[in-house]
Amino acid sequence: MAEIYVLLFAFLIIWYFVFLRKVAERARALAEQHCEQNSLQFIAIARTKTGVGCSKRQGLFIKSVFEFEFSGDGESSYNGYLTMHGVKPFNFDLPAYKV
């Protein structure tokens, strides 16, 4: 019986890492798309936080915050934040930048 729990735990860990990879790929695509729509140059993206969240509308979900670097004028760089609830974008937070 204990072997079943070990296999279940191993499966959950593997699923979690595969899911985080899927979220990271989606976040990169969304950040690149957002930069392209606003005529910005996308530079890089990195995950800063991941945790579990809960809301009345969505129930239990995995919340991830990504920090992405972009440039408005090609010389300076700025950091923006993308919050994801599962694989869905929740919020883009961009600072004031020079065009």
Question: pLDDT (tens digit, 9 = 90+) per residue, 45-61?
Answer: 999 999 999 988 888 99
How far apart CA 78 and CA 21 sit, in angstroms, is 24
- Quote the pTM value: 0.87
pLDDT band at 64 (very low <50, low <70, confident <90, very high): very high
Q: Residue 57's pLDDT is what?
A: 87
Q: Can you give the pLDDT at residue 99?
A: 76
Domain 2-93: which topology? Answer: Nuclear Transport Factor 2; Chain: A, (3.10.450)
Q: What is the pLDDT of residue 2?
A: 83
Average confidence (pLDDT) over 10-38: 95
> ∠ CA 37-42-43 to the nearest 5 degrees?
175
